[in-house]
Structure 1
């Protein structure tokens, strides 16, 4: 493998450690010590994936992500968010559409590499499915919806596991703020609706085979 991965964190120690892990696995890491430097690097390099920390100063990961998605040149780059800070239900609701996965620090090398490979495999699979749908004459709007749903369902499922674990919702007797409970339930409903629509599109693809 020769994919380029941009590692963004304001801790040189963390960047160096992650770059070493990625190099040993065959990836080509590019180091960035913060959001501003990340955006400067993206003016000359378009990586295959961005590994982006949330807790950075002066520009945090969410603001950096927003600027990445605002730029037509960089908006399609997969972004894997990671942080020692627990992601909140509000953050999940606001940003889930714009990320490709989330892992918590401290992250084990195997967990990180599994997440990266999952993102690449998903994108390759979506590309193949998209080409097949285009060859069958499927409505481009339906194809775009399919591409978004395939990614969002997987991201939302992962975020749901993270949120339930961090909130303690599944722990008997644990008191969880009502707004957190509502946000988690809303995410569950979103996943259910997305999965149902995805099955409908899958059936359409089969019928037009």
Structure 2
């Protein structure tokens, strides 16, 4: 899988790149978040790993830039962060990301998340082909693919939350306020899933 890692800490970028390369992924990294869109256009990643706390612009700023770009807005983005989402961040950005992983990154968790994301994207393309074979128009088949992809990504995000909650509930963190913020995001996901389920009722 072709991955772009955006983090202003070059030492960490080199370390993560080594891990991802050994895991079979073609990985580029960027330490200047202001060049994110240019780098995305040049490298055309299938997945972006994005650190939140960066200078001179934050990872949230990069997220907004990507989601506003008409060509690259659908690229999956997994957030890497040493801090946990605030309630405001959960509400504002929660449905714009595909997952988040707490730093320091655990190698197996990182590779597992990427593997799951690849399977999810492959399944979405299979859905498109099945819809066409069932006689749907390309427009309707595309709607089925995108809605199914969004549903599976939301389920993936939901599973990511559950994994992170177990970490945050441990002795090292033990922050009930953090867990409450994750509940806010889970409620958003649940409501969005209800909307999507209505759309994909007629999909194969």
2:93 — aligned with what?
95
Which moves more between the two structures, 82-91 or 151-160? 151-160
C-alpha RMSD of matched pairs (Å): 3.1
Q: Deviations over 1:20-73 (max 9, x none)?
A: 111222222112103113223123221121111111011111101110111122
2:54 — aligned with what?
56
Between the aligned partners of 1:187 and 1:127, the Cα distance in structure 2 is 27
- Tell me the CA shift for residue 185 of structure 1: 4.5
1:156 — aligned with what?
158
Residue 41 of structure 2: SS of its match in structure 1? coil
1:116 — aligned with what?
114
Residue 51 of structure 1: SS of its match in structure 2? strand
Alignment of 1:155-194 (within 5 A): 155-159=157-161, 161-162=163-164, 166=168, 168=169, 176=176, 181=180, 184-193=182-191
Which moves more between the two structures, 49-58 or 25-34? 25-34
Query: Aligned pair in 2 of structure 1 residues 101, 72: CA closer, same or farther (>3 Å)?
Result: same
- Tell me the CA shift for residue 132 of structure 1: 1.2
1:10 — aligned with what?
8
Residue 102 of structure 1: SS of its match in structure 2? strand
Residue pair 1:84, 1:105 contacting (<8 A) in 2 also: yes
1:147 — aligned with what?
149
Residue pair 1:89, 1:163 contacting (<8 A) in 2 also: no
- Structure 2 unaligned spans of 5+: none
- Tell me the CA shift for residue 200 of structure 1: 6.3
1:106 — aligned with what?
104
Q: Deviations over 1:166-205 (max 9, x none)?
A: 4x5x99xx8845x974x55544444445556666677644
**Higher RCO, 1 vs 2 (CA within 8 Å, ≥6 residues apart):** 2
Which moves more between the two structures, 19-28 or 136-145? 136-145
Residue 44 of structure 1: SS of its match in structure 2? helix
TM-score, normalising length: structure 1: 0.78
- Tell me the CA shift for residue 129 of structure 1: 1.6
Residue pair 2:3, 2:27 contacting (<8 A) in 1 also: yes
**111, 126, 129: which is aligned to 1:128?**
126
Q: Deviations over 1:87-135 (max 9, x none)?
A: 2233222222221221111111111111111111111112112321243
Residue 43 of structure 2: SS of its match in structure 1? coil
